[in-house]
Amino acid sequence: MSKDFFLGIDIGSVSTNVVLLDKSGEVIENMYLRTQGKPIEVLQKALATLYEKYGDSLQIKGVGTTGSGRHLASLVVGADIVKNEITAHAKAAIFFVPDVRTIIEIGGQDSKIILIKDRIVIDFAMNTICAAGTGSFLDRQAERLNIPIEKFGEIAIKSQNPVRIAGRCAVFAESDMIHKQQLGHPCEDILFGLCLAMARNYLANLAKGKSLESPILFQGGVAANIAMKKAFEQLLGTQIIVPKYYNVMGAIGIALLAKERTKGLITKFRGFENINGCKFETKGFECRDCSNYCEVVGFYSNGNLVARWGDKCQKYSSNRNYHIENSKNL
């Protein structure tokens, strides 16, 4: 077995994903963990598990981070590349299905559509402020109906006569669901109705004016839900592919990008032992020096200040030694 490995880390709002690729791009290890509001701890734990399993034989040649927590993660591990999740998802999809034309990606807090032609991204869209059509909404509804989220798809797919639910707004959708449930509609019909409403909302919101060509890939955590796949297939009238590693595609993409970036270079990876032995902390305060009231965050490793961000004037972020005593804040 080749000893060169590449690490991809995708820290999203709901899940933290870590993958290990070998030189040829084969997925050796993939982890899908819940972020639960503690991205640094979850990441440290995941890396510790990897280290326990492989020990020193694991030679990391490149690391990439993506997702909404990418900047934080890059400080923890020492990343070679920090990229947005759209580019990472497209990269992975093209790697597995070279002739892919459309990517439907639905994650915890956001959903995206990526259009590809000749292995190049030609257009994309991300959901706006509203999170009505995303995983965390499905999560909440499953919880309300007391159904484990893993069973959601299984139950919903049995539906023969799905109910009509308004999917524009999460609040309206919920009240619609409650009305239907009080009228006595069976659970599976309501659940599949919700899937259809979400798919309709997705197509109306993100895909408006765009033509969705086949092959269509469906990835992100929500792709685990077979009823969502069925709903999209029903609405689009075409087959949809759910790739094998649908829930860690972002992490695979960024690992592939890290592999490209580190060609002939030495990685900035800090090493498993250094990461696991370190105590990372963040401290924030609201600066009151001017009326912008910036929320400044400091990142500490073993009590030493590593970086600061969030200030508009950059007096904290550009100068690490800017003493807090200098300001009126503390």
Partner 1 sequence: MKVGVPNSFCYAGMENFFIRVIPEVLEDSQIIFSGKTTKEIVEYGLKNSCDELCIPVKIFIGHVEYLIRQNQVDALFLPRLVSVLPGTYSCPKIIGIPDIIKSNYHGIELVVPEINLRKKRKIMSEESMKNKQLFDFPMAKIAKTKNIMVLAHSYVIFDEFLNKGILETIKNAGYNPIYPAYYRFNSFYNSSDLPKEFFWSSARDIYNYFEWARNSTDVDGVIYLMTFGCGIDSILQELIMRKCNKIGLPYLCITVDEHCAGVGIQTRIEAYLDMIEWRSNRDEKSCLPAHG
308, with CB counted inside 10 A (0-12, 13-18, 19+), is buried
Contact predicate 252/19, CB 8 Å:
yes
Could you give the angle at which helices 70-77 and 39-54 cross, rounded to 10 degrees? 40
Q: Which is nearer to partner 1, 118 or 325 (CB)?
A: 118
From residue 215, give the alpha-carbon distance in Å to each of 96, 115, 205, 207.
12, 11, 21, 15
Report the C-alpha gap between 89 and 115 in whole angstroms. 11
Number of residues forming the site for partner 1 (CB under 8 A):
23
Q: Which long-range contacts (CB under 8 A, 24 or more apart) does 304-309 make?
A: 306/75, 307/75, 309/71
Using CB under 8 A as the binding rule, whether residue 261 contacts partner 1 is answered as no
Q: Of 215 and 310, which CB lies nearer to partner 1 in the complex structure?
A: 310
Among positions 1, 55, 57, 128, the unique one binding partner 1 when judged by CB under 8 A: 128
Regarding 57 and contact with partner 1 (CB under 8 A), the answer is no
Nearest alpha carbon to residue 195 among 247, 141, 150, 146:
141
Q: How far is the CB of 141 from partner 1 (least distance, A)?
A: 24
68 binds partner 1 (CB under 8 A): yes
Query: Mapping DSSP to helix (H, G, I), strand (E, B) and coil, where does residue 270 land?
Result: coil
Binds partner 1 by CB under 8 A, chosen from 34, 53, 117, 320: 117
Of the candidate residues 41, 52, 99, 123, the single one contacting partner 1 (CB under 8 A): 123
99 is a site residue for partner 1 (CB under 8 A): no
Rama region for 114: left / alpha / beta (φ>0; ψ in -120 to 50; rest):
beta
| Cα dihedral: 53, 59, 63, 69 (round 10) | 30
Closer to partner 1 by Cβ: residue 68 or 317: 68
Q: Which is nearer to partner 1, 68 or 141 (CB)?
A: 68
- Choose between 161 and 292: whose C-beta lies nearer to partner 1: 292
Task: For residue 12, give the nearest of 53, 72, 60, 59 by alpha carbon.
Answer: 72
- Site membership for partner 1, residue 86 (CB under 8 A): yes
Sign for the pseudo-dihedral over CA of 175, 180, 182, 187: negative
Among 120, 171, 266, 330, binds partner 1 (CB under 8 A): 120
CB of 83 to partner 1, least distance (A): 7
179 touches partner 1 (CB under 8 A): no
Q: How far is the CB of 58 from partner 1 (least distance, A)?
A: 29
Can you read off the two tokens belonging to residue 219? 């990835």
Q: How far apart are alpha carbons 18 and 11 in whole angstroms?
A: 9
Could you tell me which residues are beta bridge partners of residue 298? 283, 308
Site string for partner 1, 265-294 (x = CB under 8 A): -------------------------xxxxx
Nearer to partner 1, 34 or 119 (CB): 119
Task: Select from 37, 209, 264, 303 the one that contacts partner 1 (CB under 8 A).
Answer: 209
State the minimum distance, in angstroms, from the CB of residue 236 to partner 1: 20
- 164 touches partner 1 by CB under 8 A: no
**For residues 93 and 250, what is the distance between their CA atoms, to the nearest angstrom?**
9
Beta carbon nearer to partner 1, 43 or 86: 86
Pick one of 53, 59, 98, 122: the residue that binds partner 1 (CB under 8 A). 122
Contact residues: partner 1, CB under 8 A? 68, 83-87, 117-118, 120-124, 126, 128-129, 209, 290-294, 312
